[in-house]
C-alpha cells in the first residue's frame, strides 16, 4: 500500500513574499546535513566501486583513474596556463587547451598555491564541488517543491550512470554546483548570488550560456508577476535582476573573445573545437546516426545504456515541459540538452555531458517518488544508485576509450 504525500509538499509556493524561509522549509541544519551525508556516502561508495573493479594487474592507481582523459588536459592548463596560440598541421592540432574554460583550472591553481600537489588540488576541487552541488540541488528541490522532492532529486542526480565524473578531475561537479546555485538564488530572489554563480557557470563550460538565458527568463518572470500583483518588488530589485542576468550572459562571449584576441583569430575557440576535438554542431545528425547503428547492431552495455539515457532524457524533458516546471529551470535544461545532443563528437562522451542536464530530466522522477511511500522510494533510489555506481566504475576501469 502506498501513501501519497500531502499536496502542499509537492507544490511550489505561489508568493515568495509569504512563504517560510528556505532554511526552515529545508529542515534546518538536520535537513541540510542529511542531504550532505547522502552525497558524501555516494562519493565514498563510488570510490570503493572504482577500486574494487580495477583490474588487479593494472598499473593505474585509483587516483590516476580519476584524472584520466580531460582531467589531464585541465591539469595542464592549471599548471602551465593557456598556450599563446595553436597550430594545425598534417591533420593534427597543438594548442587544444583553449577548448577548456578557465574557472576549474584557476581553482586548481589556487589549491597548488596553498601547497597541494596539482593532482590532489584537482581532485579536492572536484569533490568539494560535488558536495556543494548535492546540497544546492537539495535546496533547489525544496525551494521549488518540497523536502521529499529535494532528497529524491539529490540521489537521482548524484547517482546517475556517469556520476563518477563528479569525483574526477573534470568540470561537471563545479558546473552542476554553479547551475544549481544560480537557479536557487534566482528562485529565492538573491540576485547578486544568481549573477555571480551564473558567471561562474559560464566560465566553467560553454553550456553555461544556458544559465544566462535561464536567468534572463527569471527576470522576465519576475517582471510579469509584479505587473500582475503576484509579488512585490523590493527597491531596485528589477535592475539588480537585470544586472545578474547580464553578468551571466557575458561569461561565455568574454572567454571566446579572449581566446580570439590571444590567438589573433576571432573564431579560434571554434577552430580548436572542430579540428582539435572533432566537435561541431550538426543538429543531432551524429547522435541519430549513433542511435540507428546501436539499435541495428549494438551489443555492448555502454552502447545500450547511452541510447537509453539519450532517449529517456528527451522524453523526460518533454514531460517536464508539459508539467510546467519552473520556466528558468526548464529553459536551462532544454538549452543544455540541445547543445549536448546537437553536437557531433564521441558518442561515448554523451553520458558524461548529460550529467548536469539531468538536473531537469530527473525532476519528473523526483516528483513521482515524492508521492509514493517512503519504503518504495528508498528501494527504487537504492536500485538506481547501485546501477549508477557500477556503470560509472565500469567506464573508468573496463571501458578503454575516452569518456
Residue boundaries of the structural domains of the chain: 7-397
- Average pLDDT estimate for 267-281: 83
Mean pLDDT of 63-71: 93
Mean pLDDT of 150-174: 98
pLDDT of residue 90: 59
Asked if 50 contacts 396 with a C-beta cutoff of 8 angstroms, the reply is yes
Measured CA to CA, the distance from residue 349 to residue 235 in angstroms comes to: 46
Quick one: pLDDT band at residue 273, thresholds 50, 70, 90?
confident
Beta partners for 343? 281
Q: In the prediction, which pLDDT does 394 show?
A: 96
Cβ partners under 8 Å of residue 334, min gap 6: 317, 321, 360
- For residue 277, the model assigns a pLDDT of 77
pLDDT at position 307 over 60: yes
The 10 Å Cβ neighbour count of residue 172 is: 27
pLDDT at 2 over 50: no
Beta strands, E only, 13-156: 87-89, 92-94
Amino acid at each position: 500500500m502506498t501513501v501519497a504525500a500531502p499536496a502542499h509538499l509537492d507544490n511550489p509556493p505561489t508568493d515568495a513574499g509569504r512563504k517560510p524561509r528556505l532554511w526552515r522549509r529545508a529542515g534546518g541544519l538536520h535537513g541540510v546535513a542529511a542531504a550532505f551525508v547522502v552525497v558524501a556516502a555516494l562519493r565514498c561508495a563510488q570510490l570503493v566501486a572504482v577500486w574494487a573493479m580495477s583490474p588487479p594487474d593494472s598499473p593505474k592507481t585509483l587516483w590516476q583513474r580519476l584524472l584520466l582523459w580531460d582531467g589531464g588536459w585541465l591539469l595542464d592548463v592549471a599548471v602551465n596556463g593557456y598556450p599563446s596560440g595553436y597550430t594545425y598541421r598534417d591533420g593534427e592540432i597543438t594548442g587544444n587547451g583553449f577548448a577548456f574554460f578557465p574557472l576549474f583550472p584557476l581553482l586548481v591553481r589556487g589549491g597548488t598555491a596553498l601547497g597541494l600537489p596539482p593532482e590532489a588540488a584537482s581532485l579536492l576541487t572536484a569533490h568539494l564541488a560535488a558536495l556543494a552541488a548535492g546540497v544546492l540541488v537539495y535546496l533547489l528541490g525544496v525551494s521549488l517543491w518540497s523536502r521529499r522532492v529535494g532528497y529524491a532529486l539529490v540521489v537521482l542526480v548524484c547517482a546517475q550512470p556517469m556520476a563518477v565524473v563528479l569525483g574526477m578531475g573534470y568540470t561537471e561537479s563545479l558546473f552542476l554546483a554553479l547551475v544549481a546555485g544560480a537557479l536557487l538564488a534566482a528562485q529565492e530572489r538573491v540576485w547578486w548570488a544568481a549573477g555571480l554563480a551564473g558567471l561562474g557557470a559560464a566560465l566553467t563550460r560553454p553550456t553555461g550560456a544556458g544559465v544566462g538565458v535561464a536567468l534572463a527568463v527569471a527576470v522576465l518572470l519576475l517582471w510579469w508577476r509584479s505587473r500582475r500583483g503576484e509579488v512585490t518588488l523590493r527597491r531596485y530589485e528589477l535592475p539588480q535582476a537585470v544586472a545578474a542576468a547580464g553578468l551571466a550572459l557575458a561569461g561565455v562571449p568574454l572567454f571566446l573573445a579572449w581566446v580570439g584576441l590571444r590567438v589573433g583569430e576571432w573564431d579560434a575557440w571554434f577552430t580548436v573545437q572542430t579540428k582539435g576535438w572533432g566537435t561541431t554542431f550538426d543538429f543531432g545528425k551524429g547522435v541519430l546516426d549513433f542511435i540507428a547503428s546501436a539499435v541495428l547492431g549494438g551489443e555492448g552495455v555502454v552502447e545500450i545504456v547511452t541510447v537509453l539515457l539519450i532517449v529517456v532524457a528527451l522524453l523526460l524533458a518533454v514531460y517536464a515541459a508539459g508539467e510546467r516546471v519552473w520556466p528558468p529551470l526548464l529553459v536551462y535544461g532544454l538549452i543544455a540538452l540541445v547543445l549536448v545532443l546537437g553536437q557531433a563528437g564521441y558518442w561515448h562522451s554523451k553520458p558524461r555531458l548529460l550529467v548536469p542536464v539531468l538536473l531537469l530530466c530527473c525532476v519528473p522522477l523526483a516528483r513521482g517518488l515524492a508521492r509514493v511511500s517512503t519504503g518504495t522510494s528508498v528501494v527504487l533510489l537504492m536500485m538506481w544508485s547501485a546501477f549508477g555506481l557500477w556503470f560509472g566504475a565500469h567506464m573508468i576501469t573496463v571501458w578503454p576509450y575516452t569518456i
